[in-house]
Amino acid sequence: LNNRRTQAPEEDLDADPFGEDGLVRILFIGLDSRAGQTAGHCDAIQFFEMDKNQGTVRITAVPRGTYSPLPPGLGTATGDYYISNACGLVGLDYGINQIEKVLGQQADYLVIVGFSRAVGIIRELQLPATETLQWLRHRQGYAIGEPQRAHNHSTFLKQMLVKFTPDEHSNLDVPFQYLMYNLLQTDLSFAQARAISHFLTDLELADHPEKIALAIKPEFAVQNIAYDADKVDAYLASMLNPIKGYLSSDDYSGKTEAEKETELLALIEEHGHDSEFVAWSYENKLWLQFEDEQQRMAVQFDLTARYAGSLPDLSAQTQVLDDYILEMEYRGLDEWSQKGQELRRQRLLVPLENLITDYLGTFLFRF
């Protein structure tokens, strides 16, 4: 996705994402890949259709268990032939092609979110990250299982759009929006993402949630189950406690967050000098899986330093470190910002004068 964005002509990056017909179609995929894996299963599949002329949004869920053919030799059992495996066993391009066949239309743009990035987005929205992800991933307690979970994803996304879409256009939102944009893997440029944000603001979703319609393909009889951050713990307990003894370790490990983080630290320590692992960890923002802020910041700085040091291109190193410093400045984390600036001086010997001012100025004048 990043390659698609960087290889696109400059005029395409600034183009109106809605095009001449006033429509934009975005395929959102939640990718379930484990630490160090380069491929992953398409675990959450949501298709957004935004119509500027009608002033509407339609979100269509595709359950991960939807049937999909596989190339000869890959499917060994009947249960292998589903959309999630089309991504995980064959590759993302093949999986996207199969998803578009189910939908009956093609996406204009792609948005990919891995596990760590999803944790980061949920945390930025000040929601309970661990419990919210458990709510989103749960399917075993529903009579129809996966289709209900897929529809829950649509319901959750609608709630988030209604709650968090800005009420008015303001350049004060730019730093936060850029921070959220960097948590996505997408071929949308930041300018195009801002244009979509403006469209959503104009819909006044807080007053008109009915402008977002939900669907599911193939069709299933599903319920609208609202996400409630204040009651998510109780809801999960009511759904999981009766069945957790029957679940596999993949569905319910029983491990505490501390145990999971200890395992993650051991993994980073073991593979920290492997450039491919470091690149994967940086691109997937592995540090976001740590609940403790100091631990999270320490791992982020370490992986950022390792990744920047592995890049042969000076401008790429500069971009990585500049993005890090800007994020720390936005968060008000002066200690880590200073560490980033010192690392930049040591590694690149490039002065950092007016970095924040220049950055904000670029976007404020542009938008």
Reading the block at residue 89, the tokens are 């066993």
Structure confidence by residue, pLDDT tens digits, 88-107: 889 999 999 999 999 999 99
Specify whether the CB–CB gap between 291 and 316 falls below 8 A: no
Q: Which stretch of DSSP H or E encloses residue 114?
A: strand 109-114
pLDDT score at 317: 92
**Sign of the CA dihedral 157, 158, 164, 167?**
positive
Burial of 10: CB neighbours in 10 Å, binned 0-12, 13-18, 19+ = exposed
pLDDT score at 346: 86
Q: Measure the CA–CA gap between 43 and 64, rounded to whole angstroms.
A: 6
Residue 138, sorted as left (phi over 0), alpha (psi -120 to 50) or beta, turns out to be beta
Q: What is the DSSP string of 276-292?
A: HHHHHHHHTTGGGG--S
Residue type, 92: L
Nearest to 289 by CA among 104, 145, 114: 114
Cα–Cα distances in angstroms (integers) from residue 63 to residues 52, 214, 249, 309, in the given order: 27, 14, 22, 41
**Sign of the CA dihedral 347, 351, 352, 357?**
negative
pLDDT score at 310: 93
Q: Measure the CA–CA gap between 324 and 326, rounded to whole angstroms.
A: 5
The three-state secondary structure class of 91 is coil
Q: Measure the CA–CA gap between 22 and 55, rounded to whole angstroms.
A: 10
The strand pair at 212-216 and 56-61 is best described as parallel
pLDDT score at 61: 97
The strand pair at 56-61 and 185-186 is best described as unpaired
Nearest to 276 by CA among 31, 40, 1, 38: 38
Q: Measure the CA–CA gap between 322 and 106, rounded to whole angstroms.
A: 35
132 backbone dihedrals φ, ψ, rounded to 5°? -65, -40
Global pTM reads 0.84
Cα 32 versus chain centre, distance: 11
Q: Can you give the pLDDT of all 367 residues of the chain as single tens digits?
A: 555 545 555 556 678 999 899 999 999 999 986 555 556 789 999 999 999 999 999 999 999 999 999 998 876 677 789 999 999 889 999 999 999 999 999 999 999 999 899 999 999 999 999 899 989 988 877 878 899 999 999 999 999 999 999 999 888 788 899 999 999 999 999 999 999 999 999 999 999 999 999 999 999 999 999 999 999 888 888 876 665 554 545 554 567 778 888 988 999 999 989 999 999 999 999 999 999 899 999 999 999 999 999 998 888 999 999 999 999 999 999 999 999 999 998 876 544 444 555 555 555 544 4
Q: Measure the CA–CA gap between 22 and 36, rounded to whole angstroms.
A: 40
Q: Look-up: residue for tokens 């910041």?
A: 297
Nearest to 24 by CA among 32, 11, 15, 37: 15
The three-state secondary structure class of 313 is coil
pLDDT score at 74: 78
Residue 218: asked if its preceding bond is cis (omega within 30°), the reply is: yes
Reading the block at residue 270, the tokens are 């073991």
Q: Look-up: residue for tokens 């040091």?
A: 309
